[in-house]
Chain A
């Protein structure tokens, strides 16, 4: 993983997606992509909850 996974950011994005999907203005065309993205994020978050990523925890480098 080249980029550090930001759990809080992922949660915020999920919140955003939920709000978007809940918005009646959202086009049906966009739903597929949004739901797909949410699944991806949910998986990442769940994986993160279950895995220590010591290498990316910069605080341990000292």
Chain B
């Protein structure tokens, strides 16, 4: 029997290893999709890289990231792309083609071009956006309106998210005292399963009926926001019959979910404010309406008051006019009356004049009569004045007590008598007394 030439497996593998090392001495940039991904406890990361064409794998290779490369490489990639290294993403990696006698062919990944992934993603995103626009999904939500009083709100988030608590507190503990009905629909908010989970929650919320559905990412890692660029999620949001508001909260860029939603805000607080503002707007509207009504009512009352006061003034003027007219009439009457009175007075005066004259005449007559009487009396008195008689040659004889003696009866002989003349008097002694009717011998004047 002819003895065959053979070599040991290790010999062959060593040969292959040598050949490969000779044939692929350098490092190669390779574009591939990560098909599987498994970091190990020992610090190395094992993965498989594939290339697909028409949904079928056309090339596949094992690959390793050694533990001395892995941490830096991963950190750099995630920092740059905001995305985790995982299965399903397309990467550009620098590899060394290696062959191990024990493990066979493998690509040792030494570097990764994060910018390539960014670019690829941007391209993918751009394609998705274009498709959404073309199919009319972009503006579907914009045509919906959040009710004036959005009261029943569905929140799709992960219950543990810090942002959800912020939102809840801000919304429910508002100083105005507005109340809301909040229904929580839990969903995965990051990672591969997120889009499906969110779509499911969305469908449930739609069934329950709400005024608005909120998708709140609410904190967590800033990486792995790729799920919010998912095409299927975008379609689900766009076709939702209820307005969807997103608060995914990433300042760097806008996600497709934000674009197709009715509205997108950055923070949980801003999300709460959106609904509080809607209530505030209604409050303001009510205030304005109330103000409008009371102002109008006030104006109306003022107008009526003005009308009233002008009517009052008109009445006042009318009364004044009337009074004026009456006064004029009165004046005229008074004039006429006084004129009449004057006439009357004149008559009276005339009448009284006559009376006065009569009185005067009477008085004069009376005075004349009195004068006559006085004159008569005077004449009488004058006539009986003893001095007048005395001047005619008669004398008055006075007896005792100076009394005029009218007879000789009381005169005795020897009596002293006074004899009064008109221009003086004397005293005499009676010698004799003669009485005419008794005896004359008694008469004797001394």
Contacts and interface: CB of A to CB of B under 8 A. Distances in A.
Q: Are A and B bound to each other?
A: yes
A1 to B, nearest CB: 16
A38 B289 contact: yes
B293 A17 contact: yes
A11 B285 contact: yes
Interface stretch (B63-71, B72-80, B176-184, B367-375): B176-184
Contacts of A34: 293, 297
A35 B294 contact: yes
* Chain A interface SS verdict (over half): helix
A4 interface: no
A24 B304 CA distance: 10
10 contacts: A22-B292, A34-B293, A34-B297, A39-B290, A45-B286, A49-B283, A50-B176, A52-B151, A57-B152, A60-B152
B365 interface: no
A8 B148 contact: yes
Q: Which of B176, B177, B208, B297 has the most CB of A within 10 A?
A: B297
Interface string A46-62: 10111110100101101
B293 A54 contact: no
B318 interface: no
A11 to B, nearest CB: 7
Contact of A42 (B179, B180, B289): B289
A38 B300 contact: no
Contacts of A60: 152, 209
A30 to B, nearest CB: 10
Interface in B276-306: 279, 282-283, 285-286, 289-290, 292-294, 296-297, 299-301, 303-304
A42 B181 contact: no
Contacts of A21: 292-293, 296-297, 300
A11 B300 CA distance: 22
A54 B180 CA distance: 10
Contact of A52 (B180, B290, B303): B180
Contact of B289 (A18, A48, A54): A18
Nearest to A58: B209
B297 A15 contact: no
Given A31-B300, A54-B181, A18 B149 contact: no
Contacts of B178: 49-50
Contacts of A52: 151, 179-181
A11 B179 contact: no
Contact of B293 (A18, A49, A51): A18
Given A46-B286, A49-B283, A35 B152 contact: no
Interface in B164-206: 176-181
Interface in A8-28: 8, 11, 14-15, 17-18, 21-22, 24, 26, 28
A34 B179 CA distance: 30
Contact of A38 (B181, B285, B290): B290
B293 A14 contact: yes
B286 A42 contact: yes
A52 B296 CA distance: 32
Contacts of B279: 49
Given A7-B148, A46-B283, A51-B179, A26 B289 contact: no
Contacts of B286: 11, 14, 42, 45-46, 49
Q: Which of A15, A18, A52, A59 has the most CB of B within 10 A?
A: A18
A50 B179 contact: yes
Contacts of A49: 149, 178, 279, 282-283, 286
Contacts of A46: 283, 286
Given A21-B300, A38-B293, 16 more contacts: A7-B149, A11-B286, A14-B286, A14-B293, A15-B289, A17-B293, A31-B297, A34-B293, A39-B290, A46-B286, A49-B149, A50-B177, A50-B179, A52-B179, A52-B181, A60-B209
A14 B286 CA distance: 9
Contacts of A11: 285-286, 289
Contacts of A28: 300-301, 304
Nearest to B278: A49
A17 B300 CA distance: 13
Nearest to A39: B290
B297 A35 contact: yes
Given A21-B296, A28-B300, A59 B289 contact: no
Nearest to B288: A18
Nearest to A38: B293
Contacts of B300: 21, 24, 26, 28, 31
B303 A18 contact: no
B275 to A, nearest CB: 12
